[in-house]
Structure 1
């Protein structure tokens, strides 16, 4: 029987964060190219961000060494008031890989505590369906699950929140990078960050 795995990273929570990005859970360590979120070189998250904010999909990449430029990523998140973590504090990997399809969330994050640490945050964006499904368990049944490019609103411990669901940045998600970039660009324009 597979063992439960605790999240290996601390949340990245700039104090003045206005947006909280939530994925599902990091891939196994053998896929990591940095000690941070979206560490798999095959994942498109940092290519998406580079394309949108710097018109260069390789802006955050050390292409020659197939690594990431972690200091640039952290500076970008701080400058743009973006917090980042995942919906799961602990999971069981039923296939030993990063696929959401085979992830069982055994301990969700403490969303209330996390939001207390970023009091300016009014927007939560999930990257993929697993993350969205898990996030919705924190809210009342009347909260509508957001779909891609369609937000929903909720009140959570007296805080109004806007919820967005974006396409997964995983290469396993069958959408071209250019289309992912369009979806994320539309989102950042809608929330006034572009």
Structure 2
């Protein structure tokens, strides 16, 4: 294993925590900077998270796309997420990349995120959603809860407050499911939370 792959990467973004957030969306960890199209969550042009959200809320998968370049519009995203009450971070605060790519399979979680600390800043939060296998495994280990099936949820208590953990299909194109099928799973969650 080369020296580069043994480096520990710290999370490059601050948590995005609107005060009105009812949903905390957690991925695993951002891709390498060379894959970013913007300085925000799910920045990889080949990740469909913001296309799924555009498709569901605006009937337009290109809604959050910068028309002049291959990038997503951070300002449009931030104001939408603020309005809807959706917080964002990742389940890992520090990782090692075991290979030079964005695959979760080759991410070693060195320091899991302190999720309770995030939830303490989100008093209205009712649900957490994990977007992929690594994020789900990391979160379930921290809360000692059973992993829901993809597209489903598990109920749990956080400091005596009932919460839901939704497990959604990965928005990465490496996860072999059509955008519309992924969106159908996300639609159920957003409807459950009366956001859609």
Measured on the aligned residues, the alpha-carbon RMSD in Å equals: 1.0
The runs of 5 or more residues in structure 1 that have no matched partner are none
Q: Name the counterpart of 1:88.
A: 92
Runs of 4+ with >3 A deviation: none
Counterparts of 1:58 and 1:116, CA distance in 2 = 34
Q: Name the counterpart of 1:152.
A: 154
User: What are the equivalent positions in structure 2 for 1:1-194 lying under 5 Å apart?
Assistant: 1=3, 2-140=6-144, 143-194=145-196
Counterparts of 2:184 and 2:116, CA distance in 1 = 31
Please state how far the C-alpha of 1:156 moved relative to its aligned partner. 2.1
The runs of 5 or more residues in structure 2 that have no matched partner are none
Please state how far the C-alpha of 1:5 moved relative to its aligned partner. 0.4
Q: Report how many aligned residue pairs link the two structures.
A: 192
Counterparts of 1:190 and 1:157, CA distance in 2 = 22
Please state how far the C-alpha of 1:75 moved relative to its aligned partner. 0.5
Please state how far the C-alpha of 1:51 moved relative to its aligned partner. 0.2
TM-score, normalisation: structure 2: 0.95
TM-score, normalisation: structure 1: 0.96
Counterparts of 2:92 and 2:151, CA distance in 1 = 23
Counterparts of 1:90 and 1:149, CA distance in 2 = 27
Alignment partner of 2:173: what SS? Answer: coil
Counterparts of 2:161 and 2:71, CA distance in 1 = 38
Alignment partner of 2:177: what SS? Answer: coil
Please state how far the C-alpha of 1:160 moved relative to its aligned partner. 1.8
